[in-house]
Amino acid sequence: MLTDTAYTLQVLTFILIILAALLLLVGINMLRRAKSDGAEPAAQQPSQAALLPRAPAPVGGVEAGVAAAITAAITCMLAQEGAQGAPQGFVVRRIRRI
Amino acid sequence: MDLAERMGKLARQKEALAAGDPAAVERQRAAGRLTARERVQKLVDAGSFVETDSFMAEAGCVTGYGLVNQRPVYVLAQDATVRGGAMSQAQKRKMLKLLDLAQKGGGAVVLMPDSAGALVTEGAAVLSAYAQVFACLARLKGELPLIAVLAGSAIGSAAQFALLADVAIAVEGLCEVAPFPASVQNAVQGTAVEGKKLNGAQALAAKGVAALTAKDEEESLVLVRKVIDLLPCTAGEGTPLEEGDDLNRLIAVPAADSKALAADIADAGSLVELYGAWKPSARTYLARVGGHACGIVCCSPEEDGGRLDAWACDKIAKLVTLCGDYNLPVITLVDSQGLAVPAQGGEAWLMTASARMLSAYANLWTPKLAVITGNAVGAAYVNFAGRDMADLCLAWPTAYIAPLTREAAVQTFQADRVAEEGRPALEQEAFEEADAFAAAACGLVDDVIDPVQTRKHLIAGLELLADRAGSL
């Protein structure tokens, strides 16, 4: 079982990870928009890539990315908890007596 | 004579004593039995045995001390190859000297009776010899662990060697232990049963005389070593803690039966069942739990709902008393419908034996932990789990704690509703009114626990209370 301080630190770490992921996604999105605004008109001949079937676009854009980041963070957290056996309750330890 | 010459004489005499009478040794081997010295050497750690009074060869017994798993033991082995191993004045002197040494040094005493009886040519004096040896053993009982290996004959007074021991181990096909010879028993009872069948290992185990049986002498000595490992050297000491199994191991639930449950709670490979062939409605064990040597009492719901008859109460009282004598905590796994209704005329013995069991628990000063895994009806709760009977009482969510069984409760209080609502619904209602949560709500149990965590809770309890049992 984690101590209270260690647990708080862990939660703060995950919050920071989520915030970082958010900032990254927003940044990427802004870059994409800027690129599309200043881009040349499409070429006469479609590129080979354009002829290939496209992967479906993420629904909701930034929101979907946020959800994915949060899910990933929670999954990571739960995996760590499971590895430490926390759901099994208390841990027995030897009592040292002098 | 110079030293070299005297040393030569010493060596020759020692060799002659060790070899014994070749014809008698051959007879012992032909009977499928080890000699006394072979038994002793196979019991103790290699090279650790020191024989005492070896020059008193005519005493017909081998005495001495050695180590078992580095802990001291004292051995008294009657030597059937010398005067039939018969009790005599000389044998008495040799035995008493060793018992005196054992009392001073501390350590388990291993008794290996194997004799044709007493040396009757000594007249009534030989009875005095028996009396002195048995009185000494009776005084030592509860002070030093006494373990008997029954691999030969112990007929008549010699049978007391088995009965005075804390744990007696009988070897199949070799031992014969009884207060009378088989010929006398057959004459009185009008039977014609062979001695080893009438008073052999299986019969002794079925009558609750032998706590353990072994297929051969080698196995019996392995069992002695295992039992010694679970007991302290003296009543004033604790049994050394032994690290091994995982303290936080979860147990498998449901267990196949009560024995499987006890085995899962105990540290791997440490369980030794005592009196397993006798009254299986209660099972008694020595084991380690979280490294702590302890006794485990286990009701067997698969045997008549775990109802306890007089002999089962007596069996439990024996283990609890043993644990009290040798500083061992007692874990009780409770799942019993209470006392069994005796056959006509059996009430007095039931009351006596159940009171003996109750007294054993009440007077036990070592840690007492109870887990109610199923029913704790009437006397089962009172004796095993009630306040002052258990230092810590835990219950599984399946527990039922009440003065009456569910069936009896419905019959007594809800008879008028049976026709309309049916017994199953009313019995379920009775269960819910007296389940683990109801008991915990009024403090009848200390906690309701997840069954898979039973071992962990018990180890935590033993760790907390271990000092009272003097664990090292």
Per-residue pLDDT of chain B in tens (472 residues, 90 and over written 9): 689 999 999 999 888 888 888 999 999 999 999 999 999 999 999 999 999 999 998 999 999 999 999 999 999 999 999 999 999 999 999 999 999 999 999 999 999 999 988 999 999 999 999 999 999 999 999 999 999 999 999 999 999 999 999 999 999 999 999 999 899 989 998 999 888 889 999 999 999 999 999 999 999 999 999 999 999 999 989 999 999 899 999 999 999 999 999 999 999 999 999 999 998 899 999 999 999 999 999 999 999 999 999 999 999 999 999 999 999 999 999 999 999 999 888 999 999 999 999 999 999 999 999 999 999 999 999 999 988 899 999 999 999 999 999 999 999 999 999 999 999 999 999 999 999 999 999 999 999 999 999 999 999 999 999 876 655 4
Q: Which domain holds residue A33?
A: 1-37+62-80
Of B453, B459, B464, the CB nearest to A89: B453
- Residue A91 contacts B, CB cutoff 8 Å: yes
Q: What's the rounded Cα separation, in Å, for the pair B277 and B144?
A: 26
Q: Is the pLDDT of residue A97 over 90?
A: no
d(CA B100, CA B160): 19
Q: Which residues 6+ apart lie within 8 Å of B239 measured at CB?
A: B230, B231, B232, B292, B293, B326, B327, B328, B471, B472
> Is A88 in CB contact (< 8 Å) with chain B?
yes
Distances (CA, A) of B179 to B156, B311, B356: 4, 21, 25
Domains defined along chain B, listed by start: 3-229 (3.90.226.10), 242-399+435-469 (3.90.226.10)
Q: Cis bond leading into B254, ω under 30°?
A: yes
| Matching residue, tokens 């002070």 | B143
What is the number of structural domains in chain A? Answer: 1
Partners of B146 in the β-ladder: B109
Q: Are B39 and B2 in contact (CB under 8 A)?
A: no
**Pairing label, strands B50-52, B447-448:** unpaired
pLDDT score, position B411: 93
- What element of type H or E holds B392? strand B392-395
The sign of the dihedral angle between the CA atoms of B405, B408, B412, B418 is positive
Residue A89 near chain B (CB below 8 Å):
yes
Give the mean model confidence (pLDDT) for residues A69-96.
Answer: 64
Residue B118 DSSP class: B
Predicted confidence at residue B172, as pLDDT, reads 96
Please say whether the beta carbons of A23 and A85 come within 8 A.
no
In a domain, residue A10? The reply is yes
Residue B202: other Cβ atoms inside 10 A: 15
**CA distance linking residue B300 with residue B334, whole number of Å:** 9
Q: Tell me the three state secondary structure of residue B323.
A: helix
Mean pLDDT, range A60-74, rounded to an integer: 62
Q: Could you say which DSSP state residue B332 is in?
A: E
Report yes or no: A36 at the B interface, CB cutoff 8 Å. no
Residue B295 confidence (pLDDT): 98
Please identify which residue in the block is written with the tokens 């008991």: B439
Backbone angles phi, psi at B373, to 5 degrees: -95, -15
Longest dimension (CA), chain A: 87
**Biggest CA-to-CA distance, chain B:** 105
Is there a contact between B299 and B371 (Cβ–Cβ < 8 Å)? no
Q: Which candidate from B248, B250, B467 shows the least CB-CB separation from A97?
A: B467
Let me know the angle formed at the C-alpha of B444 by B443 and B445, rounded to the nearest 5 degrees: 90
Answer whether A92 sits within 8 Å of B463, measured CB to CB: yes
- Strand-pairing partners, residue B296, are B285, B331
The length of chain A, given as a count of residues: 98
Q: Do B463 and A85 touch (CB under 8 A)?
A: no
In a domain, A70, yes or no: yes
SS3 state at B295:
strand
ipTM of the complex in this document: 0.71
Report the residue of B249, B456, B465 to disrupt the A interface, i.e. the one with the largest count of A CBs within 10 Å. Answer: B456
Six-digit token string for B407? 């069936």
Helix extents (H) in B291-422: 310-325, 347-363, 379-384, 406-413, 415-421
State the alpha helices, DSSP H only, in B85-216: 89-105, 125-140, 160-164, 182-189, 195-198, 201-206
Domain-located, residue A72 = yes
Nearest CA in chain B to A95: B463
Cα B25 from Cα B164, distance rounded (Å): 28
Residue of A nearest to B455 (CA): A92
What pLDDT is recorded for position A25? 82
**Is residue B403 within 8 Å of B377, Cβ to Cβ?**
yes
- Asked if residue A71 belongs to a domain, the reply is yes
Tell me how far apart the alpha carbons of residues B13 and B56 are, in angstroms, rounded to a whole number. 12
Contact B453 A91 (CB under 8 A): no
* Spacing of C-alpha B266 from chain mean position: 17
Facing residue for B459 by CB, picked from A89, A92, A97: A92
